[in-house]
Amino acid sequence: MIGRLNHVAIAVGNVAQASRIYKESLGAEVSPPSDQPDHGVRVVFVTLDNTKIELLEPLGAASPLANFLAKNPSGGVHHVCYEVDDILAARDHLKARGDRVLGDGEPKIGAHGKQVLFLHPKDFCGTLIELEEK
């Protein structure tokens, strides 16, 4: 069901500072920041040959990412994103198996302008998983 790895998301306190680290220290290509108010985050993408790194900063204290950073003040890996051909078919398959889809179970538009869903980390080896429709 899952396709290629789309990105690995890293929670950071400040995407501008994190972007500089990736640009200056690692010589990476970094996108401009983009606010995603529906998800409560500001994102920057680091482009690699085989995938992307998504740097995430919370948009205010109400952001779900703020809780993650409160527990992990230095930041860290927040989630991994896999591509799927049909997000509704993937959701229905997972729910039929008893796996938990976060939120109301309906896809939202993600940072790439495509439909996304998040899966409960307790059902997936302690890892928050994002599914993104190709």
* CA 124, 108, 15, 61 torsion-angle sign: negative
Task: Take residue 26 and report the two structure tokens written for it.
Answer: 């690692």
Candidates 38, 35, 72; CA nearest to 57 is 35
Catalytic residue among 54, 130, 132, 133: 130
Instruction: Decide the pairing of beta strands 76-84 and 129-133.
Output: parallel
Q: If residue 129 lies in a helix (H) or strand (E), which one and from where to where? A: strand 129-133
Residues 6+ apart with CB under 8 A from 79: 8, 9, 118, 127, 128, 129, 130
Active site residue 83: no
- Rounded Cα–Cα distance for residues 48 and 22 (Å): 11
Catalytic residue ranges: 130
